[in-house]
Amino acid sequence: MDKSGKDIFGKGFDIRTEVTNGQCPLCEAKTVFVSLYENFYRCMKCGGDTEQKVNGVISYIPLSGKPISLNLIKEIYNG
C-alpha cells in the first residue's frame, strides 16, 4: 500500500473535492465554490469559507472572516 499523504493528514483522513455554483454571502457574487470537507465550501472569488445548508433550497452560511485550515475541519468532524 502506498503511504504517500499519510504523514501530512494522518490515518483515515480522506480528501474529496466537489465543485458547485452558488451565490456567496460574503462577496455577494455568483461564483464557483470548491468543497473543503463535506458541507464546507470556499468561494473562488473572495476566498471566504461557508457551510452549505440544504433546507428546500441550497444556501451558504459564512463560517468566519478568516480562511479555515484542513486541520480545523478535521478536528470539527473527528472530535
CA distance readout (Å), 58 to 3, 20, 26, 32, 71: 37, 11, 16, 14, 26
Q: Is the residue at 38 inside a domain?
A: yes
What's the confidence (pLDDT) of residue 36? 72
Amino acid at 38: E
What residue ranges of the chain have pLDDT lower than 50? Answer: 1-2
What's the confidence (pLDDT) of residue 45? 92
Of the candidates 70, 53, 50, 51, the one whose C-alpha atom is nearest the C-alpha of residue 5 is 70
Q: Is the residue at 2 inside a domain?
A: no
Indicate whether this model's pTM tops 0.85: no
Q: Is the residue at 9 inside a domain?
A: no
Give me the domain span that covers residue 50: 14-78
For the segment 37-55, what is each residue's pLDDT rounded down to a tens digit? 788 889 999 988 888 888 7
Q: Is 38 helix (H, G, I), strand (E, B) or coil?
A: coil
Q: Is the residue at 30 inside a domain?
A: yes
Number of domains in the chain: 1
| Cβ–Cβ < 8 Å for 56, 38 | no
CA distance 1 to 70: 24
